Amino acid sequence: VQGSGFRVNSTMAPIDLFIGPLIQCAEAASLGMPFEVWKTRMGRHRTEGTAEAFKNIYRGGGVKAFWAGTGPKMLESGSKGMILMYAKEGINESLLNAGIGPTLAGIVAGAGGGIAQVSVMGPTTYLVTGAVIAPGVPMMTRVRETYVRGGVAGFYPG
């Protein structure tokens, strides 16, 4: 951005900003959602075993129940994919311009993009999971309580 000292990645093809979200959304829409729904159910109903949770999801709405929440998941996945791709491409370009070889640059850029994506989306995922496990708590209350309990680190459990 002009005057800020921050250089926008000008050589990145605009299509790159769509490839990351497209891949993330395809993963989530195919097998990602059923596993996400299953995992979330098991987190909310801690006394259910793996097979029991699977059966209860199916009983609650058939096969369609495994894709509950697909709309919000697509928003999350698209955002995650765009952050990952933008960061990875920016890091890769910077490393290549600094004379780093393409193989090492690609490895470091991929890791850096993953770190950027997790750093940005981690708190969002934490808050969404909290809303599923303990519904009825206003989001800002959850943010405030988490911050008071653990500061910024409280949004990155585990």
**Can you give the pLDDT at residue 94?**
93
Q: What is the mean pLDDT of the chain?
A: 86
CA distance 132 to 128: 6
Percent of the chain with pLDDT over 70: 92
What are the b/e assignments for 28-62, b being 16+ CB within 10 Å? Answer: beeebbbebbbebbbeeeeeeeeeebbeebeeeee
pLDDT 10s digits, 42-89: 988 899 999 999 999 999 889 998 888 788 788 888 999 999 999 999
Which structure tokens are listed for 38?
Answer: 């299953």
CA distance 77 to 71: 10
Identity of residue 19: I
**Can you give the pLDDT at residue 50?**
94
- For residue 4, name the pLDDT band (cuts at 50, 70, 90): very low
CA distance 149 to 151: 6
- Which residues are within 8 A (CB) of 69 and not within 5 positions of it... i.e. 6 or more apart? 33, 36, 37
pLDDT 10s digits, 127-153: 877 776 777 888 899 899 999 999 999
The model carries a pTM of: 0.69
